[in-house]
Amino acid sequence: MALTQPEAVERWARDRAIDLWVSFALPDVAAAARDDGALITRVDETPSSWAVFEAMGDAGVDDVRRVGVLAATPSGLSAGRAAGAQAVVGIAATSAETADLLLVEPDAVVTPSGFGSLYDERYSSGRLLRPQVLLNPGPALTTERVKRAAAGVDLCHREPEYTVLDRRIRDRLRAVAEVGDDWAVALLSGSGTGAAEASLRAAVRPQSRVLVAVNGVYGERLLAMATRAGIDVVIAEYGWTEPADPAEIAGLLETELDVDAVAVVHHETTTGLLNPVEAIAAVARDRGVRVVVDGISSFGAEELTLEGSGIDFLVCSSNKCLQGLPGAAFVLVSPAGRERLEAVPATSVYLDLAAYLRGSEAGSVPFTPAIPALASLDAALDELLAIGADEHRCRYAERAAALDLVLDGLGLEPIVAPASRSRTVRAVPLPGGVSYEPLHDALKRDGYVIYAGQGRLAPEIFRVCCMGALGPEIIESFGGRLAAELDRAAATV
Amino acid sequence: MALTQPEAVERWARDRAIDLWVSFALPDVAAAARDDGALITRVDETPSSWAVFEAMGDAGVDDVRRVGVLAATPSGLSAGRAAGAQAVVGIAATSAETADLLLVEPDAVVTPSGFGSLYDERYSSGRLLRPQVLLNPGPALTTERVKRAAAGVDLCHREPEYTVLDRRIRDRLRAVAEVGDDWAVALLSGSGTGAAEASLRAAVRPQSRVLVAVNGVYGERLLAMATRAGIDVVIAEYGWTEPADPAEIAGLLETELDVDAVAVVHHETTTGLLNPVEAIAAVARDRGVRVVVDGISSFGAEELTLEGSGIDFLVCSSNKCLQGLPGAAFVLVSPAGRERLEAVPATSVYLDLAAYLRGSEAGSVPFTPAIPALASLDAALDELLAIGADEHRCRYAERAAALDLVLDGLGLEPIVAPASRSRTVRAVPLPGGVSYEPLHDALKRDGYVIYAGQGRLAPEIFRVCCMGALGPEIIESFGGRLAAELDRAAATV
C-alpha cells in the first residue's frame, strides 16, 4: 500500500531506515539496530540472495529498500548487493580486511564496535541523514528516480553517448521555456550564481554600462558581479518588498547613457518577491538594450513568456523548480543575446558564456561537465514534461495558494504584497515571542526544514519555500505542525 | 562467483544489461528483449516483490541487478521497486497514464511500441549507455558505491547534516595531501578549471604579475585565465614534451619585476608530461613568491610534498585520480596562500576563493554546493583512505609501468621521455597507416575508450589514460586488444 506523502514524512521523521538486518554468520554486532526495534536475522548458510529473500519472507518484510545486510566476508556482502538490499555493511577488524571488503562495494565497512555510530548516522530512528521535507529555497526535494539517475554509468564527455544526453537536455529546456531552436542553451557546471555571472560578463560591451535592479540579496549579488568584473553600473534600487518599476527603468534608460544591458532577478528568494521582468524587458527591448534575467528560482514555476519578450539571457539552475539535483546550471540565450556575446571580449575562462555556446554548436563542451547532475536533470525533465510545463507551473501556483491559506489561517502575513508574491517562497515575520531557532528545530523534528531570513531580515523573519517534489497535501500537514508549534510557543511566553 | 575486471569488461561490451524481464500481466511488449536473448516471464498474479523473486528462482537468475520489471500499473512498478530490480519500466498508452505511472518512480515509462528504442538505448547487448573502461583523462571509471553515494538523501546545505559531510571531506582531503589543519580547503561546484581560475585570481595582488609556465593546453589555459582577468603575465614557454625548467624560472624571478605568483600545471594531460613543481615551488618560496599548482589530474596519483614546499594553492577536482564523480573541485591553500588572498580584491563573485574559505571558516557555504558530487567524493575518499594514500599512489605507479610495458612491447614510444612521464597519461604517435577514429571505434566495440590528441597534436597521436577504478589486470587485457587492432590495421594497409 503506497503511503501518502504526509504519512511518508511521518515515517521519515520517526522511523528507522531499515526494518530487517540479515546478518551472515556474524556474532552480535547489530545491538544498536535491535535496541532501535529493527529485526535481526542471523543466517549461517552459504550467503546468497535467496537467503536474504527467505529471511525477508520469514520476517514479513517485502521491500528490499527496508532491508540491510551485514557480513564480514565478500560473499556475504555480494549476496546483499545481489539481493538489492538498501544497506550493505561490511564488518572488518583491520584496515586490510576493510580494503578487501570494499572491493565488493558495500555501502560502508566498519569495525564491530563501529557499527553503532554508523547506525546512528544513517539508519537509526534518530539518524542524522534522513529524508526531510525541504522547505528551503533549494536544493529542493527530488524523487528517488531523479537521484538514481545520478548513479548511471560513467561516461566520457567526448563520446556520442554524452552528446545524446546533452542535446536532449537542451531540447527539453527549450520545450519547458517554450522557445524555438533559434534560442541557444549553455550548460555549465556549478551553481546558478556561476551562470548568472557568465551571462552578465557576456551581455555588456566594453565602455558600456549595465543597469541592475536591486531589491534583495540576489540583486545585490548581480551588482557585485558587475562591479567586480569592472563593468560600470547604473543602479535601480528598491525596498526589499517593493518590485522593480518598469517605468522608472524606462526613464533611466532615457537619461543614463551607454546602458547596454539590464540585469534583474525574476524571483528574489530573499523575500519571495517577483519582479515584473516581462514589462522591464519590453522597455529594454524597445531601446535595443539586452536583458539578463536571473530566473534561478523561478524557471519552471512562474509564468514567463520568453519569445519576443526582450529577455536575452535567462539564467537557471538544475535544482530548484525543475526538481533536479544541484550541480548544473544553464542559460537560455535569445538570438539577439547570441549576437551580443560575440561582440564582448571574454573576461574569464570558466565564466565565458560564448565558449559554452560555441562548444555546443560544435557538438563539444569546453570543460568536463557535471554529468551526474545533468543525467538527473534529464530525469527530472522527464517528469516535468510528462505532466506538461503548463501543468507543472499550475501545480506550483496551487501549492502557493494552499500555503497562503495556511499562513492566513495562522494570522501570518507574508512581507510581500499578494500581487508580487512568487509561487514558492514566503517570508513571514516571526510572531511575538517566537525565535527562529527553536521553531526551526521543533519543525525539523517533525520532518520539515524551514529557512532563516537573509541579510538584514535574518532576525525578524522566517521563510517557507515550496519548491520540489512535494505533493499538495504536504502543505496542509506542514500547516498543522506549524500551528501546533506556534501554539506551544505562545503557551510558554 | 565474482568476475575479474577483464571478464566484466567483456560482459559490458557484449552482453545485454538485463537477463530476465518480469512482465506483470502485459501482452508481449518486450519482443526486443526476447530477440536479444533475454528471458521474459509473464506473471499474472497480484504484483509483489515475492512474485519477482519467484520468477528469478524459476529462471535461475540470482541477482536483482540483472532483472527488469515491466508493468502497466502502479502496483506492478511498485513491486519492481520493492524487489530492487535494476530496471523498472512502465508501459503507458497516454500521457495521463504516463504521469500516473511516474508517481511510483520507475526508471522510465514508454508506450508499448516505444519499448524497443528504450531497450536499445539502455538495456540491449548493443546498447548506447553501457559501462566502459574509460581510458580518457577523466571523468574516470568509478565504483558502483561511489555512484550510489550521489543518490543519497536530499540535504539543505544550511543544515548541520551537510556541515558534517563538508567537514569530513575537507579533513580527508588534508589527509590525502598530508598537510596540517593550518591548510585551508575550498570546495567549489564546477570543473577543476573554475577552481584553477579562482586560485589565479586570488594569488596575484594588483599591480603585480604572474609567471605562467606553459607547455601544453592546460598551461595555455592558465595563461588565458590570467590575461582575461587583466593580470599581467610573464611567460615561461616550453615545447609540449619539455618539462618547465626551475633554473630558468629562478632566473626570470630575478630579472622580471613584480612577479607575485608562479602558476604551473603539475600534470599536462595534453601529453602526459609532469612538471617539476616541487623544484619550481622551492625557487619561488625562496623569493617570497606564491605558487599556484594545477594538480587537477595529478592529485592522488603522483608524489607531491606540500608542507614546506612553497606550493600555496593546489587545485584539484573530484573526478580524476580521486575517483569521485565530476561536479566538484577544490583548492588546498597554505597558510601563506590564505594570507595572500586577503590582500587581493575579488574580481569575481563565483570565482572568489576567499568567499569559499571565509564561508567554511564560519561553517557556511557561499553558494549552493553540488551535494551529490560531494557525497560521492566522500565515498571515493573512503576507498582511497582504506588502502592509504601511499598505496593508492603506488597502484597508479604500477599501472603506469604496466602500460609502458604494453606500449613498449608494441613498439609504441610515448612522446614524453620516461623521466617526465605521469602515472596516468601516455600520448603515443599513431603508427603509420593507422588513423585515430577507426582505432578508437574498434577498441570501443571491445569496451575500451581511448582519447584523441589535443590541439596541434590531434592529427598525430592518441592518448591512453589509466585513471580511475581500474584493476591492474585491465591494462594487460587492453594491451591485447590494442595489439590485435594494430595488427589488423597493418594487415589492411
What confidence tens digit (pLDDT) does each residue in B362-381 have? 989 999 999 999 999 999 99
What confidence tens digit (pLDDT) does each residue in A249-304 have? 999 999 998 999 999 999 999 999 999 999 999 999 999 999 999 999 999 999 99
Interfacial B residues in 2-31 facing A (CB < 8 Å): 2
Count of CB atoms within 10 A of residue A464's CB? 27
For residues B430-444, average pLDDT: 95
In whole angstroms, give the CA distance from residue A12 to residue A329. 30
In whole angstroms, give the CA distance from residue B404 to residue B407. 5
Buried b (16+ CB within 10 A) or exposed e, A237-271: ebebbebbbbeebbebbeeeeebbbbbbbbbbbbb
Coil/strand/helix, residue A412 = coil
Torsion of CA B337, B340, B341, B345, to 10 degrees: -160
In whole angstroms, give the CA distance from residue B407 to residue A52. 46
Confidence (pLDDT) at A2: 66
Strand order in the sheet with A259-265: A184-189, A328-333, A313-317, A290-294, A259-265, A209-214, A232-237
Interfacial B residues in 229-288 facing A (CB < 8 Å): 229-230
Q: For residue B384, which residues of chain A lie inside 8 Å, CB to CB? A: none
Query: Which among B306, B482, B479, B274 is positioned nearest to B397, based on CA atoms?
Result: B274
Mutation test of the interface with chain A: which of B12, B118, B132, B154, choosing the one with the most A Cβ atoms within 10 A?
A: B154
Burial (CB count within 10 angstroms: exposed 0-12, middle 13-18, buried 19+), residue A366: buried
- Residue A49 in contact with partner chain B when CB distance is under 8 A: yes
Contact yes or no for B362/B158 (Cβ under 8 A): no
A435 φ, ψ (degrees, to nearest 5) = -100, 155
A326 φ, ψ (degrees, to nearest 5) = -70, 150
- Residue A190 in contact with partner chain B when CB distance is under 8 A: yes
Confidence (pLDDT) at A464: 98
Query: Which among A312, A308, A315 is positioned nearest to A266, based on CA atoms?
Result: A315
Tell me the ipTM for this assembly.
0.97
What confidence tens digit (pLDDT) does each residue in A122-161 have? 999 999 999 999 999 999 999 999 999 999 999 999 999 9
Count of CB atoms within 10 A of residue B52's CB? 29
Q: Nearest Cβ partner of A78 from B2, B327, B328?
A: B2
CA closest to B142 among chain A residues: A154
Q: Any idea which residue has 510572531 for its cell? A: A431
- Residue A401 in contact with partner chain B when CB distance is under 8 A: no
Confidence (pLDDT) at B26: 85
Distance from CA of B244 to the nearest CA of A (A): 23
Confidence (pLDDT) at B2: 66
Confidence (pLDDT) at A493: 62
Band the pLDDT of B18: cuts 50, 70, 90: very high
Confidence (pLDDT) at B91: 97
Cβ contact (<8 Å) for A107 and B144?
no
In whole angstroms, give the CA distance from residue A55 to residue B117. 38
Q: Nearest Cβ partner of B139 from A74, A145, A371?
A: A371
Residues 6+ apart with CB under 8 A from B124: B16, B17, B32, B33, B36
Q: How far is CA A380 from the centre of its chain?
A: 11
In whole angstroms, give the CA distance from residue A267 to residue A271. 9
Q: For residue A349, which residues of chain B lie inside 8 Å, CB to CB? A: 193, 197, 221, 224-225, 228
Residues 6+ apart with CB under 8 A from B284: B249, B253, B261, B262, B290, B291, B310
In whole angstroms, give the CA distance from residue B478 to residue B444. 11
Mutation test of the interface with chain A: which of B201, B349, B391, choosing the one with the most A Cβ atoms within 10 A?
A: B349
Cβ contact (<8 Å) for B107 and A148?
yes
Phi-psi region of A37 (alpha: psi -120 to 50; beta: other; left: phi over 0): left
Q: Any idea which residue has 547613457 for its cell? A: A257
Confidence (pLDDT) at B471: 87
Interfacial B residues in 117-136 facing A (CB < 8 Å): 121, 128-132, 134, 136
- Residue B99 in contact with partner chain A when CB distance is under 8 A: yes
Model's pTM, two decimal places? 0.97
Query: Which among A226, A301, A299 is positioned nearest to A260, based on CA atoms?
Result: A226
Q: For residue B150, which residues of chain A lie inside 8 Å, CB to CB? A: 147, 150-151, 325, 372
Q: Any idea which residue has 526494518 for its cell? A: A19
Angstrom CA distances, A208 to A259, A277, A311, A342, stand at 6, 22, 19, 15
Q: In chain A, which stretches have pLDDT less than 50? A: 1
| Amino acid type, B282 | A
In whole angstroms, give the CA distance from residue A395 to residue B111. 25
In whole angstroms, give the CA distance from residue A460 to residue A463. 10
Count of CB atoms within 10 A of residue A50's CB? 17
- Residue A91 in contact with partner chain B when CB distance is under 8 A: no
Cβ contact (<8 Å) for A350 and B193?
yes
Query: Which among B12, B138, B15, B129 is positioned nearest to B447, based on CA atoms?
Result: B12
User: Which three cell numbers, joined as nine digits, stand for B72?
Assistant: 502497466
Confidence (pLDDT) at B286: 92
Distance from CA of A286 to the nearest CA of B (A): 31
Band the pLDDT of B295: cuts 50, 70, 90: very high
In whole angstroms, give the CA distance from residue A6 to residue A479. 11
Q: For residue A350, which residues of chain B lie inside 8 Å, CB to CB? A: 190-191, 193-194, 197, 225, 351
- Residue B71 in contact with partner chain A when CB distance is under 8 A: no
Q: Any idea which residue has 612491447 for its cell? A: B409
What confidence tens digit (pLDDT) does each residue in B460-483 have? 999 999 999 998 899 999 999 999
Kind plus residue range of the DSSP H or E element containing A411: none
Q: For residue B386, which residues of chain A lie inside 8 Å, CB to CB? A: 95, 98-99, 102, 109
B139 prior amide bond cis, ω within 30: yes
Confidence (pLDDT) at A113: 93
Average pLDDT value for chain B:
96
In whole angstroms, give the CA distance from residue A283 to residue A288. 9
What confidence tens digit (pLDDT) does each residue in B32-83 have? 999 999 999 999 999 999 999 999 999 999 999 999 999 999 999 999 999 9
